[in-house]
Structure 1
Amino acid sequence: MGGITAFRLSTPPAVPKPSLAVIAYYAGDATAFRSYPTKGLTHIIYSFLHLQGNSLAFDKPQDKATVAALVALKAQQPQLKVMLSLGGWSGCQTCSQVFATAKGRSDFAASVKQVLRATHTDGIDLDWEYPAIAGPPGHRFAPEDRHNFTLLVQALRATLGNTYEISFAAGGFPEYLRKSVEWPAVMPLVNRVNLMSYDLVNGYSTLTGHHTPLYPSPPQQVSVDDGVRYLDSVGVAPGKIVIGAAFYARVFNHVPSAKQGLRQAGKFYKTFNYKEFTDSLSATQGFATYWDSIAQAPYAYNARRQEFATFDNPRSIRLKTQYVRTKHLGGIMFWELTGDKPQHGLLESLYEAAAQ
């Protein structure tokens, strides 16, 4: 029996308005990004490169192949910029030492220009965790890091000119915001600050809470809005502020059931990606999901296993993106692209909100 077969085409994700930066950190290989709807991205930041001596360097030859594949995307997506990130958590072990000297900063800036030219990439993102305050155990930090970071950015801008972009990843918590950066000196020289408004409750925390909330929810003050208000108070232009979203959950165990595990004693247990939520945070696994209407953030609790989970979901992603629009901020970024579902994931929720 003949007839016509109807094919239902899925609606492509809405593309954000061009004034909003949508920035993906990417730690995948040369092919994984092809599974994701990247056409609405303004930036992909490849993570990470590290210091070899005083120079920016790839760790492995396959990292260069990944960057080349990302750069090839620009032929189809002319608005896309591909940037390279230095460091990451535990990835900036010698930054304090190298950037403490004029030679170290000069050598690094020259190497950045060489690498950017060789890879046809568009800029450098500095993810030094952290200048002047404690980061990973054993990493040097010193009060003079704060000014040395300013000198580093000055050296980079002088060497790179205005052809290349410079951004940096900033801790979203008060100690970093107040002690790590000379904001009035640094911000005129960079294109944006990527506020890491996630991991605000982290692996060292002994009390549960929201790791990436939009607003303070007493007694937890630290949040996206708290960080943005601080940057505004020290004169950072709103259009240079990019807030962060998390495409992963943080899970704590040994958490008592009071308040569905929120703000209770607990021990950090593990992280897992958004693409695993359907299985890992499901009701069949024993999790019930809740919404904090003050923090504008979701959380989940498993009474049987005494586990508490904190994360972003489509609703919180949409609210963060709307916040960026309302506050006239520069954009929204997230860690990390391969944590998402390839289809109907958090990135699509972000696009939908950004296009409104």
Structure 2
Amino acid sequence: MLRNALTACAVLLLLATGTTVPAAATAAGPRAVIGAYYGNWYSGSKPISQIPSDTPVTHLFYAFSTIEDGRCALNAPTAAKDFADITDLKRRKPSLKALISIGGWGAGGFSDAALTRAARQAFVGSCVDRFFKQHKGVFDGVDVDWEFPVYGGPTEITDRPADKRNMTLLVREFRRQLPRGALVTAALPTGRLQTDGSYDPARSFELGALGRELDFITLMTYDMGTSFSPVATFNAPLREVREDPMPAADRRWNNVAGAVDYYLKHGVSPRKLVLGTPFYGRGFQVRSEGPDHGLYQPYESTFWVDGVDAVQRLKATPGWREHWHPVAQSPWLYHAAERKFVSFEDPRSIGIRARYAKHRGLLGTFMWELGNDDARHSLLTAMARPFTS
């Protein structure tokens, strides 16, 4: 089944070895972004205070603030300590930028908060007051993570056709009210299957306009194989795999390279794109092994795999075998007796994606989520190396 991949494998050889970088990737411009999202509910075992000052991270995204009654809210019990730790980390690493990330999957309230000029002014004003006045000096910008305007987000969350334009206007309002020099970024999607089925980011966002308005876009080049997918598949395949039974019109874009091409096609400069890498795995309880160890098989349920340590525990458990796909440039694990398939990334595959980002002239790389790395920071090191060496 994988025999048809050999030609594509040869095409990937240059990217995998990282031996050549075009002039566009080395041209003078903004410094490279090595971004790290920190989930305030998720990384309790690895607090911000443990991040070393020599980390290659240039931008730390603190996630998430939410929206309550049209105002910015933050209910994390560790917030006060986290803010103090961010301030201390910035003291130890003066070049670090910290951004408050607003939204995330399952966060409602955006459509109402962005609906009118008055609503946008009040909402943005509340965020500025909370994070830039009450906690002055902690944050250097705002990251808007609206999942998603118009359609495609959780079904219980309000969305409207007007959201597409209002997202751009919301970004402009943040730019207007934030202190001079503050960053405005946004996390934008790539997965082609969401709650409403086949999904097109251009129906949710004015991509070209956002590419001009934002300092940069953290491109969520992951979550391409989820519980919305009809079969067990990769979370972040590098390239389109012809054997993938996904409809061809969606499959073309449902991979890292295709997602980058899509955003470039819609007018976003490569120097505004920061490539996402997942530091977690996604699992499927498949119905049968099929010809390729669970890959592209129908499944009964899905499960989450928390990062490097969890993957290593699986590898150390009898019955799990590791495989590699030459086109997706991704590993996966399969347990034949339990019929479990796990898509994950490792230093090899993340390094390939980071070299790809450098080769295409993108601004940098980022990950979800910092706490999912191991104690040696092996994934972060692989993600940062092409932009720091």
The normalised TM-score by structure 2 is 0.82
**Structure 2 Cα separation of the partners of residues 202 and 177 of structure 1:** 17
Indicate which of 202, 208, 212 corresponds to 2:226. 202
**Structure 1 Cα separation of the partners of residues 304 and 375 of structure 2:** 19
Tell me: CA distance 1:254–1:278, structure 2 relative to 1, closer, same or farther (3 Å). closer
2:110 is equivalent to residue 77 of structure 1? no
Structure 2 letter corresponding to 1:85: S
CA contact (8 A) 1:130 1:176 kept: no
Indicate which of 173, 185, 188 corresponds to 1:170. 188
Alignment of 1:42-53 (within 5 A): 42-53=58-69
Q: Secondary structure at the match of 1:300?
A: strand
**1:151: how far off?**
1.1
Alignment of 1:74-153 (within 5 A): 74-91=90-107, 93-114=108-129, 115-119=131-135, 120=137, 121-153=139-171
Structure 1 letter corresponding to 2:122: D
Q: Secondary structure at the match of 2:125?
A: helix
Tell me: CA distance 1:353–1:55, structure 2 relative to 1, closer, same or farther (3 Å). same
The equivalent of 1:342 in structure 2 is: 375
Structure 1 letter corresponding to 2:264: D
How many residue pairs are counted as aligned between the two chains? Answer: 339
CA contact (8 A) 1:30 1:69 kept: no
Structure 1 letter corresponding to 2:160: A
Q: Secondary structure at the match of 2:61?
A: strand
CA contact (8 A) 1:238 1:330 kept: yes
Tell me: CA distance 1:107–1:176, structure 2 relative to 1, closer, same or farther (3 Å). farther
Q: Secondary structure at the match of 1:315?
A: helix
The equivalent of 1:57 in structure 2 is: 73
**Structure 2 Cα separation of the partners of residues 33 and 270 of structure 1:** 27
Alignment of 1:294-333 (within 5 A): 294-333=327-366
CA contact (8 A) 2:365 2:384 kept: no
Cα RMSD, aligned residues only: 2.0
CA offset digits 1:261-289 (Å, max 9, x no partner) = 11111134211222323544215331111
The equivalent of 2:178 in structure 1 is: 160
Structure 2 letter corresponding to 1:65: K
**Structure 2 Cα separation of the partners of residues 305 and 232 of structure 1:** 42
The normalised TM-score by structure 1 is 0.89
Indicate which of 33, 37, 60 corresponds to 2:48. 33
Q: Secondary structure at the match of 1:284?
A: coil
Tell me: CA distance 1:144–1:344, structure 2 relative to 1, closer, same or farther (3 Å). closer
CA contact (8 A) 1:23 1:333 kept: yes
Tell me: CA distance 1:277–1:354, structure 2 relative to 1, closer, same or farther (3 Å). farther
CA contact (8 A) 2:354 2:382 kept: no
**1:233: how far off?**
0.7
Structure 1 letter corresponding to 2:334: Y
